[in-house]
Amino acid sequence: MKNFFILLSLVASFQMSLAENCSPTNPCSNGGTCIDAYPTGFECSCPTGFSGNLCGMVNVCDTYGLLCQNGGTCIADGTVDGFSCTCAAGYSGAYCTQSACGANSCQNGGTCIPGANGDYTCQCPPGTSGALCQNSVCGANPCQNGGSCTPTADGPQCTCSTEWSGLTCEINLACNINPCQSGGTCSPSSLVEDGYTCTCADGFSGQTCTESSCSGNPCATGSTCVPDASANGFSCTCAAGQSNPLCNVADGCGTVSGANPCLNGGDCSLSNTLYAGYSCQCNGGFSGTMCHISACSKNPCQNGGSCTTKSSSPGFECACVAPYTGAICQESICSLQQPCKNGGSCAVAPGTPGYQCTCANNGYTGPTCEASACDVNPCANGAQCNPSAASPGYTCTCPVGFSGPTCSASACDANPCKNGATCTPDGTTLGYSCTCVGGYSGPTCTASACDALPCFNGGTCIVDSSNDGFTCNCQPGYSGATCSQSACGQNPCQNGGSCQPDNSADGYTCTCEEGYFGVNCMASNCDMQPCQNGGSCKADGSADGFTCTCEVGYFGVHCTASACTSHPCKYGGSCQPDGSDDGYTCSCLTGFFGNQCELRSCVGSNPCQNGGLCFQQGISQACICNNGFTGSNCQVQPPQPGV
């Protein structure tokens, strides 16, 4: 709020600075008397009820209502704010907004009461005490098992859940008689009707743990059933000679009958986890539940080798037939050395070297398919020789520019390049390219470098053996290898001026565009920056020698005029020229609005309904309605469609 009145004062000071003295018009508002003064120019002597540099601030206590808070008394005066506050007991500050109870330091629901000297006292509820009501009989929370504590004048009072009771909720009502059997654990619960649940020991179940997984006596006669945490919920302790999980195998390893189920010398052991009642530990070379599978049963030995079981891994060994070798007789000289080259196939053969090659039909021959017609390199000019089954036993892949069965022919054989040029066979349409010398060019070096007319500005071209192949004799005023250089080469004429080479001291003359002048057309009437308020200047051929393009909201030859010149904004509003229909926009001071800040906002309650805007109209208030609403307070709704 204080910033608002400071802003009013600054605006009034700014307006005062715009005037130089008290004449010809009195700048002081509301009947104020203007007094000439130095160095400010003037001062205003304001009548009672008004203040400010221009007497524009009215009795703010009557105009703006409750400026002083919390029962403070507003007194209009001549200060910058235009008023001061006399605060009620217990409050302070420029607007009586500061109170000792501002932070409300009273705890546990205590009520803060401001004092006359800027202090405060706490009124504590029953069961709490201390200067800040910080002490509570429920501070240590004596209520157990989730009970809630309420402080009272008689001390803490506990509210217990349904399954607990007692002064501190210490009595368990549901589990007092321990209804859970067979070692089950009782836990109070408000989620079930009985008020408790049982956590049963392993092997037991039911609401009170009275059901056992051994109830059906699943173990064989003579064995003992024990409830446990296994998948079956029990385990059987077998009598002597019994085995498997239910103890119903009486002679698993044939101890009585002498019939050992484990074959081929396997060792038999009784088992209470396997339903067969036993397990076999097989000797090397055998496997299976009864050691009945031999490692040689699928004959792992290849190429006619014979298999024999053995105790060490892998449980067998192979006796190979020559010339095969390897753990399963899978290796031969063909697989180990791969002697047949270039796609030839290898077959084991008796005698030395122990194999025979069958060469592929691709031009290779010999004992190991490595010989070919390319061994004598029949292809010329660096061509690649490829063995072939067709006569003459090879084909040549020629490099670019060469052809023929042995790549010995080229397009350069006819010497197509003239005037001492060098011919090089290549892959172009002609089959060759020429490297020209002495100023000649073209596919066969028959064209002169002067055919392209390289000499400009009337220069004469002479063919020679220089690097360029020609020399230019230039006309007066031009120079360079192609007579292309002149004083106008970099166009010294500015701002669109045209340059013409001549015999003057500068070597050129500038013809300037309208509005520009000088040797290089660099001077114009825009150099004096005649366009104001951000306007842009363009030199031209007008009488002034320039034209101003003004920023939005400004006009005139020099962009010095605007719609703000007439000061259309009221009550200290600031004017900004723009491109709107009015040509300006007013920024109003707080409390004013309207296109020209001509309307003053209502003080106090707003009688305007449905989003209407309220403004002061003398001592009364009026409404500006929006969205089709009408009536003195915008209370009448707009007619609905179809009604």
In the structure, what pLDDT confidence band is assigned to residue 54 with cuts at 50, 70 and 90? confident
Q: Are residues 425 and 465 in the same domain?
A: yes
User: What is each CA distance from 265 to 284, 292, 309, 637, in whole angstroms?
Assistant: 10, 10, 13, 109
Q: pLDDT, tens digit, for every residue of 552-578? A: 888 888 888 887 888 889 888 898 888
Residues 457 and 507 in one domain: no
Does residue 145 belong to any structural domain of this protein?
Answer: yes
Least confident of 257-271, 332-346, 539-553, 569-583: 257-271
User: Do 507 and 555 share a structural domain?
Assistant: yes
pLDDT band at 43 (very low <50, low <70, confident <90, very high): confident
Give the model's pLDDT for residue 477: 63
Question: What Å distances lie between residue 156 and 123, 125, 140, 142, 428, CA to CA?
Answer: 19, 13, 10, 8, 108
**Comparison of pLDDT for 169 and 192, the residue scoring more:** 169
Share of the chain above pLDDT 70, in %: 90
pLDDT, position 64: 65
Q: What is the pLDDT of residues 196-233, one digit of tens each?
A: 889 998 878 888 888 887 877 777 666 788 888 777 77
Which of 26-35, 69-78, 148-157, 551-560 is predicted least confidently? Answer: 69-78
Same domain, 557 and 508: yes
Mean pLDDT of 492-518: 81
The pLDDT value recorded for residue 15 is: 43
Among the candidates 562, 583, 612, a domain finishes at 562
* Residue span of the structural domain in which 317 resides: 306-336
For 600, residues 6+ apart whose C-beta sits below 8 A from its C-beta are 571, 591, 592, 615, 616
The answer, yes or no, to whether residue 8 has pLDDT greater than 60, is no
632 closest CA partner among 602, 603, 612:
612
Domain end (from 431, 459, 486): 486
The domain boundary, picked from 157, 173, 189, lies at 173
Q: d(Cα 482, Cα 472) in Å, to the nearest integer?
A: 6
Residue 514 and residue 557 in one domain: yes
User: Do residue 519 and residue 481 come from a single domain?
Assistant: no
Q: Which residues pair with 267 in a beta bridge?
A: 281
pLDDT at 7: 40
| pLDDT for the residue 479 | 74
Q: Is residue 480 part of a domain?
A: yes
Domain identity same for 430 and 473? yes
Q: What is the pLDDT of residues 319-348, one digit of tens each?
A: 888 778 888 888 887 887 788 888 888 888
- At 396, the pLDDT band (50, 70, 90 cuts) reads very high
Q: Does residue 518 contact residue 507 with C-beta atoms inside 8 Å?
A: no
Residues 429 and 481 in one domain: yes
Q: Does 432 reside within a domain?
A: yes
Query: What is the pLDDT of the chain when averaged over all its residues?
Result: 81
**Does the pLDDT of residue 535 top 60, yes or no?**
yes
- The CATH number of the domain holding residue 74 is 2.10.25.10
Same domain (yes/no): 461, 428: yes
Query: What confidence tier does 65 reach under pLDDT thresholds 50, 70, 90?
Result: low
**63 confidence band (pLDDT: 50, 70, 90):** low
Q: Is pLDDT at 188 greater than 50 in this prediction?
A: yes
Task: Count the residues in the chain.
Answer: 643
Q: Do 481 and 526 share a structural domain? A: no
407 in a domain, yes or no?
Answer: no
Asked if 474 and 513 sit in the same domain, the reply is: no
User: Would residue 297 count as lying in a domain?
Assistant: no
Assess if residue 9 is contained within a domain. no
Query: Quick one: pLDDT at residue 6?
Result: 40
The most confident of 48-52, 73-77, 91-95, 120-124, by mean pLDDT: 120-124
Q: Is residue 434 part of a domain?
A: yes
Please indicate, yes or no, whether residues 518 and 478 belong to a single structural domain of this protein: no
pTM: predicted TM-score of the whole model, two decimal places:
0.25
Q: Quick check: is 525 in a domain? A: yes
The number of domains in the chain is 5
Better pLDDT: 61 or 523: 523
